[in-house]
Amino acid sequence: MQTTTSGQALRVLLISVQEPMGQVIARALAGRIPDHRIFWVSQPEVAATRAEELAPGVILLDDALGDADPRLVIGELSARLPHVPVVTLVAEAAMGEAREAVLAGARGFVTKPLQADDLVATLQGVLAQQPALPALPAQPQPDMRSAGRIVAFCAPKGGTGRTTLALNTALSLQTQTKQPAVMVDADYAAPALDVALNLDRSRTIDDLLDRLHSLDDELLRGVLASHASGLQVLLAPPPEATAKHISVPDADAILGQLERMFGWVVVDLGLPLNETAFGFLEGADRVIVTVLPEMVGLRNTRLLLDRLLERGLGQERVWLVLNCATLRGGIGQADIERRLRVPVRHRIPADQPLVTHSINRGVPLVLSHRRSAVARAIRGLARKLEVELPGEQVKR
């Protein structure tokens, strides 16, 4: 199937007030369009603005939009994104609405309940009529380079030890695989990597956003902060200084360049989990969800896992890691797995004094306390990632 830009996944933007529709679309496209990503907008009034930010290849618009008039939404989308085809989803008995949608600017329609083959055939038809967009000139690549692996750490709430696990895992991957690693601080509400690693925050991701059209190795290396271990870090600006909006295409461009430069890209993803956050998650080879053995966290974790599943991130890509697993009075692993309906892929023991000491000193514990139980467990997580995500030789 034709995509909007050579070598990129097809971006499918769904506009629907009904959450289950996203699951229907995901099931219909799974296995039929291997290289695609689905984004969901539930508020018709912001659909055009979000479409401009997401730069989709095709837009699916559910005709059941509550109080919003689908014709007006289609008209605004067509005016603001004339190059993006809109396909409307209409009830089987509503052929009159389908004709009105086409008159308003839709390129096609599919009847509900959706049939996967009909949806795919319609998408293929409207995309085949699209003029190919000129591809960006390819950056010359050295012979000894291959794509790295992206590992994103996330959590349903703060305080799960996400950042500590992410940075120590990144260091362990770099040491054990002998391949360079880079971290991305994508916690724009409460960035912490500069403190945890004692780094100067004079250059951040904000320094890249106005120059993404010329993004290359040299530009990125000029913005990355270097840790004494050799780990490179793309820092987030302080929350009060974040003036530039990071869109999903921005995240894709930055991740794509980093994975060509480094063997491992580790993303420390904060809250809220908005569309930009899902841009990082959906680009990851593995998503590590950190959870504590406490009841409130389990409820929020189940909701997060459901959201990840709806976005096409299955259990093979999403790993549940139980942090502070030996916490006195904590919920047992078997009970956690029963409640969340997913297996715990790895356990990290509790040692809050050591973790606090490490953060306060700005020295990762896998460097300062290599023989500790926590450090050994984190190295074990890194070994599992290395086995699951074997990579080829990467240019240093």
- Does position 46 have pLDDT exceeding 50, yes or no? yes
Q: Where are the alpha helices (DSSP H) in the chain?
A: 20-29, 47-54, 70-80, 95-104, 116-128, 162-177, 193-196, 206-209, 217-223, 248-261, 275-282, 295-310, 333-340, 352-361, 365-368, 373-388
- State mean pLDDT over 84-92: 92
Give the pLDDT score at 241: 65
Residue at token pair 């990082």: 280
Q: Which two tokens stand for residue 283?
A: 């680009």
Q: What is the pLDDT of residues 52-64, one digit of tens each?
A: 877 889 999 999 8
Q: What is the pLDDT of residues 12-40, one digit of tens each?
A: 999 998 878 888 898 899 888 877 888 88
Give the pLDDT score at 311: 78
Give the pLDDT score at 89: 94
The CATH-assigned architecture of domain 10-128 is 3-Layer(aba) Sandwich (3.40)
pTM, whole model, 2 decimals?
0.69
- Distance from C-alpha of 6 to C-alpha of 133, rounded to nearest angstrom: 8
- Does position 5 have pLDDT exceeding 60, yes or no? no
- Does position 146 have pLDDT exceeding 50, yes or no? no
- Distance from C-alpha of 252 to C-alpha of 230, rounded to nearest angstrom: 24
26 neighbors 1 (Cβ within 8 angstroms): no
Give the pLDDT score at 385: 96
Q: Where in the chain is the domain with CATH 3.40.50.2300?
A: 10-128
- Does position 143 have pLDDT exceeding 50, yes or no? no
Average pLDDT, the chain: 86
Q: What is the pLDDT of residues 370-389, one digit of tens each?
A: 999 999 999 999 999 999 99
350 neighbors 317 (Cβ within 8 angstroms): no
377 neighbors 370 (Cβ within 8 angstroms): no
> Ranked by mean pLDDT, which of 81-95, 115-129, 151-165 comes out on top?
151-165
Please say whether the structural domain 149-388 has been given the CATH code 3.30.200.20: no
Give the pLDDT score at 130: 66
Give percent above pLDDT 70 in the chain: 91
Q: What is the pLDDT of residues 287-339, one digit of tens each?
A: 999 999 999 889 999 999 998 988 778 888 999 999 999 999 999 999 999 99
206 neighbors 243 (Cβ within 8 angstroms): yes
Q: What is the pLDDT of residues 239-251, one digit of tens each?
A: 776 546 787 788 8
Q: What is the pLDDT of residues 91-140, one digit of tens each?
A: 888 888 888 888 889 999 999 999 999 999 999 888 887 654 433 333 33
Q: What is the pLDDT of residues 164-217, one digit of tens each?
A: 999 999 999 999 999 999 999 999 989 999 999 999 888 999 888 888 878 888
Range of weakest confidence among 140-149, 210-219, 384-393: 140-149
In degrees, rounded to 5, the angle at the alpha carbon of residue 96 between the alpha carbons of residues 90 and 98 is: 40
| Per-residue confidence band for 269, with pLDDT thresholds at 50, 70 and 90 | very high
135, with CB counted inside 10 A (0-12, 13-18, 19+), is exposed
Q: How many CA atoms lie within 13 A of 37 on its CB side?
A: 22
Q: Where in the chain is the domain with CATH 3.40.50.300?
A: 149-388
| Per-residue confidence band for 72, with pLDDT thresholds at 50, 70 and 90 | very high
239, with CB counted inside 10 A (0-12, 13-18, 19+), is exposed
